Amino acid sequence: MNDSTRSRRYIILILLFLTPLGFYTKFYRGPGAVWVADSLGGFFYEVFWCLLIAIITPRLKPMAISGGVFLVTSALEFLQLWHPPFLTAIRMTFIGRTLIGTSFTWSDFPYYLGGCLAGYLMLKLINNRHSGKKATFNPSETTDENRI
């Protein structure tokens, strides 16, 4: 089994844990339920997309993946300011609310950034784990070794 296959399997295992955890944040009703659903859920959302994109496009670098996820989800956040009938209909469903959100809030952006940073670091650690290198935080690295 090559390094890419091992990396993908490891990411899939993480996603098998992370996905239900992310959905659980939408149903949690204990202390801090609003924060868990609205903010912590956004963090997991970003990590999920970073890992999923890494599986779909394994040649992309972790920085490109996490940066792209941050840009797209930030655009989706701004899209919440727009309420045409077709988006309102989508937002009325659970999956629609979960994927594109319902209301704009500036306080989501730090969680998006934190989730993308966590996704970046996970991808770097996974890459380095299978290449035998130590993980470093250097966003400007451009070698092929940073690819999944």
pLDDT digits (tens, 9 = 90+) for 20-56: 999 999 899 999 999 998 899 999 999 999 999 999 9
Domain extent listing, the chain = 3-131
CA distance 72 to 38: 18
What is the DSSP code (8-state) at residue 20? H
Q: What pLDDT, in 10s, does the model give residues 49-79? A: 999 999 999 999 999 999 999 999 999 999 9
Q: Exposed, middle or buried, 108 (CB in 10 Å: 0-12/13-18/19+)?
A: buried
The number of C-alpha atoms within 13 Å of 50 and in the hemisphere containing its C-beta is 32
Q: What global pTM score does this model have?
A: 0.82
